[in-house]
Chains A and B, each alone.
Chain A
């Protein structure tokens, strides 16, 4: 009964175009933020942070990024893993080249560098569409991974070919390296998630988002009302890559600590993030979160049921996970192309009228 919009009158256009037009949504948003920032850091332990929260937060950023490109602008990309690698290696090079600069700035700069690289690889999108563009971004994926393996400068000529994050501090607390407390790495990622989600939301509800969606829905009509397709597509690639780069930098520096590029940022990563936005919902920021949460918790959940409860062998459960994800992708593509976010919207529509359905 709390969830209603009756009587919630808007008296200005600002109020009408805000992120959460319904009061209850706003309260919930502030509540979630308060819990995430003020309560969770005191409760979490190593396992929860490393198995659930960090991957969820980091993949959320990547999914928001890809959703801007694929869900909002309609440009399919299979290069997410490659662009995450750009973010990771940019962050690594910055961390080792300028050890005195704050790591948070390095992560942002890594996002900026990825934005530039992403824009370059977005150039073919002006000429090609759909599957062909997907293949072009696939080329970016393989090229970038190859590049970071091949050119020793990127991993500072280390013998193993890996990059590992040196220890860095924020306000005297380690956030990278082996001595990082769980809550610190959690908080760093949470700050970036909040920042990215806010920016993404503001961009998508404003004029730029409308340009992107116009290009997605009908590029000819978009052009006729004054959208420059070149600019719209390239800004989408830039903004998308910016987020993906940040997530790659965090994935490397805060989450894994040391990565080998082919393993951490291979084609599988691109597909994983793509699945997240398909399951979560194309063209929705909430969908990015939902998809990330779903695909991060699914293996944990399956392991809990399969291995711990039923006593199945681990490899069986690992393969079962692939089957389940595959089935879910098919289910969502056929039944609900707008994903979990749409299911959530439908539930809200119903709730709005509850308990009187007509």
Chain B
């Protein structure tokens, strides 16, 4: 458990800050099944943190614990140096944690623009009456939010599909719109659940570039689950490896790559008895 509040410098020279999110001895059970067994790890400010592991290892459950869907039976979640009481997902969102889903969770009946605008809901302060009249504060806020959203749209290069209903978009673009919605919330911590699942190489390259750019330009801390080892090793600063609900490795990509437990459980290559 890392209590040391100092950062480190990555290989490419980025300064990583203090611990932002600290998970301490998390245990999550569904009935008799232990999905997560006594796992601790931390996510530091500004870093790209990957969570990897075979199917059913408990990676998505871990993300769901962070975003408040599941309340772990044991363990504590510390965010920005404060212990987080049991919270609802929408309260987690207000603390500055945004996420995307493994199978896309967009609002199919709304346009791309409206979908991304929902990311700004936490920044809307005007009341129902002001919105009903659509004057003054409500209109100003709407315009401000639109400006922010347009910046995200530019950033992710989806200007052309702004007004398209989301239901009509191809898979790869949907993934990008979902990322845009999460970015519009200007999160401090961005959780990506398999952002590249089902993509071809070019789309993966695009998505990788966006993830690096988000981290670089906005300084957003990113935690991602990904199966593509090449992507994980290239993108992330530190990697947590899970297997059957247990943590079997934690460290830089190189450390993890050479960890015998990890090779046994997950990579399964270059390991001869």
Q: Do A and B bind each other?
A: yes
The chain A residues found within 8 Å of chain B, CB to CB, are 12-14, 16-17, 199, 202-203, 206-208, 210-211, 213-214, 216-218, 220-229, 235, 239, 283
Q: When the two chains form their complex, are residues A226 and B105 in contact, meaning their CB atoms are under 8 A apart?
A: no
Q: A207-B121, A208-B131, A227-B121 are in contact. Are A13 and B109 (CB under 8 A)?
A: no
List 8 tightest A-B contacts by C-beta distance, closest first.
A226-B93, A221-B105, A217-B107, A202-B134, A207-B124, A13-B146, A226-B122, A223-B89
State how many residues of chain B have any CB contact under 8 Å with chain A. Answer: 43
Q: When the two chains form their complex, are residues B131 and A207 in contact, meaning their CB atoms are under 8 A apart?
A: yes
> A199: which of B99, B114, B118, B132 is its contact (CB, 8 Å)?
B132
Q: When the two chains form their complex, are residues A211 and B147 in contact, meaning their CB atoms are under 8 A apart?
A: no
Q: When the two chains form their complex, are residues A202 and B133 in contact, meaning their CB atoms are under 8 A apart?
A: yes
Given A210-B114, A224-B90, 12 more contacts at CB 8 Å? A13-B146, A14-B143, A202-B131, A202-B133, A208-B131, A210-B121, A211-B121, A222-B107, A223-B88, A225-B185, A226-B90, A229-B90
Q: Give complex CA distance A220, B105 in Å.
A: 8
Main secondary structure of the interface of A (DSSP, over half): helix
Q: Give complex CA distance A235, B133 in Å.
A: 16
Q: A217-B108, A226-B121 are in contact. Are A203 and B128 (CB under 8 A)?
A: yes
Q: When the two chains form their complex, are residues B109 and A225 in contact, meaning their CB atoms are under 8 A apart?
A: no
Q: Give complex CA distance A202, B138 in Å.
A: 10
Q: Give complex CA distance A12, B144 in Å.
A: 11
The residue in chain A whose Cβ has the minimal distance to the Cβ of B108 is: A217
Interface residues of B in 43-102 (CB under 8 A from A): 67, 69, 88-90, 92-94, 98-99, 101
Q: List 20 A-B contacts (CB under 8 A).
A: A13-B150, A14-B143, A17-B142, A199-B133, A206-B131, A207-B120, A207-B124, A210-B117, A210-B118, A211-B118, A218-B108, A220-B105, A222-B107, A223-B88, A224-B90, A224-B99, A225-B122, A225-B182, A226-B94, A227-B121
Residue B37 interfacial (CB < 8 Å): no
Count of A-B contacts with CB under 8 A?
A: 109
Q: When the two chains form their complex, are residues B107 and A218 in contact, meaning their CB atoms are under 8 A apart?
A: yes
Q: A13-B143, A199-B132, A208-B128 are in contact. Are A225 and B110 (CB under 8 A)?
A: no
Q: When the two chains form their complex, are residues B109 and A17 in contact, meaning their CB atoms are under 8 A apart?
A: no
Q: Give complex CA distance A228, B87 in Å.
A: 12
Q: Smallest distance from the beta carbon of A264 to chain B beta carbons, Å? A: 29
Q: When the two chains form their complex, are residues A213 and B146 in contact, meaning their CB atoms are under 8 A apart?
A: no
Q: When the two chains form their complex, are residues A13 and B132 in contact, meaning their CB atoms are under 8 A apart?
A: no
> A222 to chain B: which residues have CB within 8 Å?
107, 118
> B134 to chain A: which residues have CB within 8 Å?
202, 206
Residue B265 interfacial (CB < 8 Å): no
> B146 to chain A: which residues have CB within 8 Å?
13, 16-17
The residue in chain A whose Cβ has the minimal distance to the Cβ of B107 is: A217
Q: When the two chains form their complex, are residues A216 and B90 in contact, meaning their CB atoms are under 8 A apart?
A: no
Q: A13-B147, A199-B132, A220-B105 are in contact. Are A225 and B139 (CB under 8 A)?
A: no
Q: Give complex CA distance A229, B131 in Å.
A: 19
> A225 to chain B: which residues have CB within 8 Å?
93, 98, 118-119, 121-122, 181-182, 185
Q: Give complex CA distance A64, B93 in Å.
A: 31
